[in-house]
Amino acid sequence: MDAILLQILNGLDKGSAYALIALGLTLIFGTLGVVNFAHGALFMIGAFCAVTLQKVLTLSTISIDPEKKDFLGQPLKVETPYVHNWFGEATGSSIIEWSVPLAILFAIPVMMAVGYAMERGLIRHFYNRPHADQILVTFGLAIVLQEIVKYFFGANPIQTPAPDTVSGSIDIGLMFGFAENAIIYPIWRLVYFAFAFAIIGAVFAFLRFTTFGMVIRAGMSDRETVGLLGINIDKRFTFMFGIAAAVAGLAGVMYGPINPPNYHMGMDFLVLSFVVVVVGGMGSLPGAVLAGFLLGILESIASTAWATTMIPGINQIIIYLVAIIVLLTRPRGLMGRKGVMEE
Amino acid sequence: MSSFTPNRRSLLKGGVALGAGVAAPTIFTGQSWAASHAYTNAPQGGSVTLGFNVPQTGPYADEGADELLAQQLAVEHLNGMGDGGCLNTFSSKALKGNGILGKKVEFVTGDTQTKSDAARASAKSMIEKDGAIMINGGSSSGVAVAVQGLCQEAGVIFMAGLTHANDTTGKDRKANGFRHFFNAYMSAAALAPVLEAELGADRRAYHLTADYNWGWTQEESIVASTQAMGWETVNTVKTPLASTDFSSYITPVLNSGADVLVLNHYGGNMVNSLSNAIQFDLLNKQVNGKDFKIVVPLYSELMAAGAGENIKGVLGSMNYNWQLDNEGSKQFVKSFGEKYGKPPSNSAQTCYAQVLLYADACERAGTFNPCGVVAALEGFEFDGLGNGKTLYRADDHQCFKDVLVVRGAQNPTTAYDTLEIVNVTPAEQVTYAPNNPLFGGDEASLGTCNPGA
Amino acid sequence: MLRLTKKDISLLVVVIVLTMLAPFLLNPFPSDSGLAQFNAGYPDLMQKFVIFGIFAIGFNILFGLTGYLSFGHAAFLGVGSYAAVWMYKLVSYNVLPAVVLAVIVAGLFSVLIGYVSLRRSGIYFSILTLAFAQMSFALAYSVLSNPSFNLTNGETGLQVYANDPQIFHGDHLPNFPHLFGLSMGSTYKMAAGAWEFQFNVAYYFCAIFMILAFYLSMRLVRSPFGLILRAVKTNQTRLNYTGLNTRPYTLAAFVISGMYAGLAGGLLAATDPLAGAERMQWTASGEVVLMTILGGVGTLIGPILGAGFIKYLENIFSKINDNVLHQWFSFMPDGIEDLMVMIIHPFVGKGWHLTLGLMFMLVVTFLPGGLVEGGQRIKTWWANRKSSDKAGKPASTPAE
| A168 chain-B contacts, CB cut-off 8 A | 279, 281, 284
Closest CA to A318 of B1, C135, B140, C344: C135
pLDDT score of A342: 67
Inform me whether the pLDDT recorded for C152 exceeds 80: yes
Cβ atoms C95, C270 nearer than 8 A: yes
| 3-class DSSP assignment, residue C268 | helix
By C-alpha distance, the chain C residue nearest B129 is: C42
Closest CA to A116 of A240, A224, A276: A240
| C351 chain-A contacts, CB cut-off 8 A | 147, 151
Domain residue ranges in chain B:
31-182+322-401, 185-318
**Which of B235, B333, B334 faces A305 most closely, judged by CB atoms?**
B235
| 3-class DSSP assignment, residue A245 | helix
Per CATH, domain B185-318 is 3.40.50.2300: yes
Which of A173-177, A184-188, A233-237, C113-117 is the most confident on average?
C113-117
Per-residue pLDDT reduced to its tens digit, B301-332: 999 999 998 999 999 999 999 999 999 999 99
By C-alpha distance, the chain A residue nearest C354 is: A144
A186 interfaces chain B, CB cutoff of 8 Å: yes
Q: How far is A294 from chain C (nearest CA, A)?
A: 17
| C178: enclosing H helix or E strand | strand C178-179
The DSSP bridge partners found for residue C187 are C200
pTM beyond cutoff 0.80: yes
Average pLDDT of chain C, as a whole number? 90
Higher pLDDT, B340 or C37: B340
| C124 chain-A contacts, CB cut-off 8 A | 278, 282, 327, 331-333, 341-342
Per-residue pLDDT reduced to its tens digit, C287-325: 999 999 999 998 999 999 999 999 999 999 999 988 888
- Are residues A304 and B305, on separate chains, in Cβ contact within 8 Å? no
Instruction: Grade residue B259 by pLDDT with cuts at 50, 70 and 90.
Output: very high
C-alpha span between A221 and A210 (Å, rounded)? 17
The residues, any chain, with a CB within 8 Å of residue C304's CB and separated by 6 or more, are C15, C53, C56, C57, C210, C214, C295
Inform me whether the pLDDT recorded for C392 exceeds 60: no
Poorest-pLDDT segment among A141-155, B177-191, B338-352, C29-43: C29-43
Domain residue ranges in chain A:
2-329
Domain residue ranges in chain C:
39-280
Encode chain B in three state secondary structure: CCCCHHHHHHHHHHHHHHHHHHHCCCCCCCCCCCCCCCCCCCCCCCEEEEEEEECCCCCCHHHHHHHHHHHHHHHHHHCCCCCCHHHCCCCCCCCCCCCECCEEEEEEEEECCCCHHHHHHHHHHHHHCCCCCEEEECCCHHHHHHHHHHHHHHCCEEEECCCCCHHHHCCCCCCCEEECCCCHHHHHHHHHHHHHHHHCCCCEEEEEEECCHHHHHHHHHHHHHHHHCCCEEEEEEEECCCCCCCHHHHHHHHCCCCCEEEEECCHHHHHHHHHHHHHCCHHHCEECCEECEEEEEECCHHHHHHHHHHHECCEEEECCCCCCCCHHHHHHHHHHHHHHCCCCCHHHHHHHHHHHHHHHHHHHHCCCCHHHHHHHHCCEEECCCCCCCEEECCCCCEEECCEEEEEECCCCCCCCCCEEEEEEECHHHHCCCCCCHHHCHHHCCCCCCCCCC
**Which of B62, B248, B416 faces A10 most closely, judged by CB atoms?**
B248
| CA B246 to each of CA A13, B14, B59, B314, C281: distance values in angstroms, whole numbers, following the listed order | 11, 64, 18, 18, 21
Inform me whether the pLDDT recorded for B25 exceeds 50: no
Cβ atoms B350, B390 nearer than 8 A: no
| 3-class DSSP assignment, residue C297 | coil
Average pLDDT of chain A, as a whole number? 90
C-alpha span between A339 and A84 (Å, rounded)? 59
| A263 chain-C contacts, CB cut-off 8 A | none
- Work out the number of other CB atoms within 10 angstroms of the CB of residue B111: 27
By C-alpha distance, the chain A residue nearest C122 is: A342
Q: Alpha helix (H) ranges present in C118-223? A: 122-141, 201-222
- Are residues A323 and C128, on separate chains, in Cβ contact within 8 Å? yes
- Are residues A142 and C365, on separate chains, in Cβ contact within 8 Å? no
Closest CA to A153 of A17, A256, A21, A16: A256
Per CATH, domain B31-182+322-401 is 3.40.50.2300: yes
| B41 chain-C contacts, CB cut-off 8 A | none
| B139 chain-C contacts, CB cut-off 8 A | none
| B307 chain-A contacts, CB cut-off 8 A | 159, 260
Using DSSP bridges, classify how beta strands A184-186 and B419-425 pair: parallel, antiparallel or unpaired. unpaired
| A56: enclosing H helix or E strand | helix A39-57
The DSSP bridge partners found for residue B103 are B100
Radius of gyration (C-alpha) of chain A in whole angstroms: 22
Kindly report the CATH class assigned to A2-329: mainly alpha
**Which of A136, A279, A317 faces C364 most closely, judged by CB atoms?**
A136
A3 interfaces chain B, CB cutoff of 8 Å: yes
Of the residues C364, C365, C367, C373, the best mutation for testing chain A's interface (the one with the most A CB atoms within 10 Å of its CB) is: C364
Closest CA to B219 of B117, B297, B159, B156: B297
